[in-house]
Structure 1
Amino acid sequence: MDKSAQISQLSLKYGFILAAVSVVISLTMHFINPVLVYTNVMASIGIFVVFIALLVVSGINIRKEIGGFWTFGEAFKAFLIISLILAITATLYNFILMKLIDPDLPAKAAAAIEEAQRAMMAKFGLGNDEIDEAMAKAGNMQEKLEPSFKNTFTSFGVSIASYGVISLILAAILKKKPPVTFNTFPTEG
């Protein structure tokens, strides 16, 4: 098997593993507190850090399995395949979660987000009229969370763009060229 095909195969393997981990973490978080990821910045940051770490470990493992060296392009290809699998899985998971598993989630999450935003604005000293005006400008949060075609497509696009940037960064960090070796020839003498 050539190196490119091996990278593709390993990327698919790790992509599906990370997608399964993603769904398990998301379902666990949902059953602990359905609105936690919408209202707790630290939970969102924690999940992000875990996934960056898992992507790095996957990249290092793929690089080891193909011989320990790869170019930026090969690394980027691997991360892009993994990212595409993660984006598709996340989009499908969120659609299924909000349409079938917990159809009330958009309303619950919107209410929790609004409550958290109102509390934060109040801490900054804004009055009720200013808070109401800011909330009106923000728009209907429940409408933004509903799993419509537009929202699902937008979510997928944002995921692909975000993962694309992360893929570029990780490929730049994890590329590794083979060491340069010099052949020395015995001199005749």
Structure 2
Amino acid sequence: METQETPFRAALRSGLIIGMIMLVITFLVYFIDTSMLTKWWFGLLALAIFCGLVIFFGTKYRNDIGGYINFGPAFQFAFITLVITGLISVVGNILLYQVIDPALPQVLADQQLENTMSMMESFGAGDSMSSEQIDEMKQGFEDAYTIGGQLKGFGIALIIYAILALILGAIIKKKDKSLSY
């Protein structure tokens, strides 16, 4: 008798695959042009790829178990996939920022500050900041690349993952209409 795969096992496998794909993308971008890591469009593109892959693997899982899945298991699949992918990304980023290129966090923090100041100037608010506020903002950017900052970011990401999993679970679910009365 064949046993049906659980959402947890399917999500674990999918999360590992997506996490490795996202890690490869991050490292490719690092080798091509590190400044792209701080661009807003790169983050948006990564999120789109991330969500698209979760939907792809979720739909594949749904089809593997008979073509139907309720919202609960679909949410569970999406959330666990997102958490596993996030953990792999955090470990990869810690390796990148602390082991492979310890100077990178400073470069990225400077780039983020430059991007932020440029955006503020385009809104006409660039001159309103004091040097202390700018230094504080730069320190915040630098802190985000520390191990503690990465772990704190992952903690915040868990909340975002839960919200995303609700949306993705709703997309993945498919109710068997033949069971409705």
TM-score tier by shorter-chain length is 0.7 to 0.9
2:160 is the counterpart of 1:162: yes
2:37 is the counterpart of 1:37: yes
Aligned partners of 1:56 and 1:170 also within 8 Å: yes
Name the residue aligned to 1:175.
173
Aligned partners of 1:7 and 1:66 also within 8 Å: no
Shift of 1:133: 5.7
Aligned partners of 2:113 and 2:141 also within 8 Å: no
Shift of 1:134: 4.5
Q: How many residues align?
A: 179
Aligned partners of 1:6 and 1:66 also within 8 Å: no
Question: How far does the alpha carbon of each residue in 1:80-134 deviate from its partner, in whole angstroms, 9 at most, with x for none?
Answer: 2211211211111111111111101110011111112222222233464636465
Shift of 1:13: 1.6
2:58 is the counterpart of 1:27: no
Name the residue aligned to 1:13.
13
Aligned partners of 2:112 and 2:141 also within 8 Å: no
Q: Within 5 A, what are the aligned runs for 1:1-189?
A: 2-3=3-4, 5-38=5-38, 40-126=39-125, 128=127, 130=129, 132=131, 134-136=133-135, 138=137, 140-148=139-147, 150-180=148-178
Aligned partners of 2:62 and 2:68 also within 8 Å: yes
Could you say which structure has the larger radius of gyration? 1
Aligned partners of 1:118 and 1:131 also within 8 Å: no
Shift of 1:146: 3.4
Shift of 1:169: 1.0
Structure 1 residues 63 and 85: alpha-carbon distance in aligned structure 2, compared to 1, 3 A threshold: same
Aligned partners of 2:86 and 2:154 also within 8 Å: yes
Structure 1 residues 12 and 129: alpha-carbon distance in aligned structure 2, compared to 1, 3 A threshold: closer
Question: How far does the alpha carbon of each residue in 1:13-41 deviate from its partner, in whole angstroms, 9 at most, with x for none?
Answer: 21111111011111011111113121x21
What is the aligned-residue identity percentage? 26
Distance 2:3 2:170 in 1: 23
SS in 2 for 1:35: helix
TM-score (norm 2): 0.87
Distance 2:145 2:111 in 1: 15
SS in 2 for 1:99: helix
CA RMSD of aligned residues (A): 2.1
